[in-house]
A and B are shown apart, each in its own frame.
Chain A
């Protein structure tokens, strides 16, 4: 079975894996990962079926499973314990009241506040959305444009997690769904230095005809900070197409008769899928139970995914790399 973790195939995210595998910052001991969904794309989850946990598991499951898969794969590791806090701070009736929207409807199509509301979505203005959803409401009663401020919503828009991995590495993670820009920052702290990566994505509404989650080249950066040496920026591997340039590469792997071997082992099966979703499920339980949750409280005997080997945490480290490289140059 194949689980389509398209995010892994995005060239800059593969480049991060390549850098971490190279050992340039040693073995990874911690990760700071913060994902921003903006007021267009983020809001869209609160209009659709995703707005209820029974359908989507909330954003920690539906959306963040991609992020947690990236971390599992980047670190070649699996989560052991999760603590989460979360709340719905923005997409709720009180916010509509603060905006002064007193006559709002439960959907955009007939909403008297449409002209004033920055979240108004006119399905009729998007041919593809009208074709797929508006035209077919009679068959299943599904509305694609429900009010983002509805009291029926029961998923969080603000989430923070602390995760401990099997290797002992830890992660601090956050997800916000009402931010002014969309993308993420991720930092890896290793025994030989630090990598900082920021990626700004374009904004989109699912199905509006644009390419979803395309990376903005000018907003994507990778900086390396080795211990005791000057930091430097590396050139970003080129990304074109949906979800950070991942979709075209992944479709080639899925549907080509003979996929090429991949040293990053990006193709995922049910094991990678299960381990990625467990961080979010444990996060949901943690919010519910008000305490850290161990993965082995939820599931036992799950096989480990196939991940590439990572730098050895016991290998000797050169304490004076700069001095030694200068000396090497002098003796040439």
Chain B
């Protein structure tokens, strides 16, 4: 079975649990294909952590969310950004044909 493709928007502390779940215990079923945040430094930190597990995941600034979806074609977008930004990412992801998992 093909791995499900996940993109994640928001890579602050709370988001780590999801990245970890995909990169470690569920890596046979799931794949992280893109990361998005408003902070380039935090994006690099998460990408480096993934690279340490032989996972090359491209990073995108929050202004490049649409481009991330177009280029990485995720099945599911995981929303773990600041609460006040959840609705915009959830709606845009659904519009672009993705399923959504949102931290609440």
Contacts and interface: CB of A to CB of B under 8 A. Distances in A.
Q: Do A and B interact with each other, yes or no?
A: yes
B70 interface: no
B84 A4 contact: no
A207 B13 contact: yes
B84 A206 contact: no
Contacts of A57: 83-84
A191 B42 CA distance: 53
A251 B25 contact: yes
Interface in A115-146: 128-129, 131-133, 135-136, 138-140, 142
B82 A55 contact: yes
A40 to B, nearest CB: 15
Point out which of A3, A55, A138 has the most chain B C-beta atoms below 10 A from its C-beta. Answer: A3
Interface string B32-70: 000000111110010000000000000000000000000
Interface in A248-306: 251, 254-257, 273, 276-277
Contacts of B100: 1-2
A35 to B, nearest CB: 16
A62 B99 CA distance: 23
Contact of B38 (A140, A242, A256): A140
B29 A255 contact: yes
A49 B81 CA distance: 11
Interface string A1-26: 11111000000000000000000000
Contacts of B14: 206
Given A56-B83, A136-B42, A256-B26, 12 more contacts: A3-B101, A4-B101, A4-B102, A49-B82, A128-B13, A132-B42, A135-B45, A136-B45, A206-B14, A251-B18, A255-B26, A276-B104
CB-CB nearest 5 A-B residue pairs = A136-B41, A207-B13, A255-B26, A139-B41, A251-B21
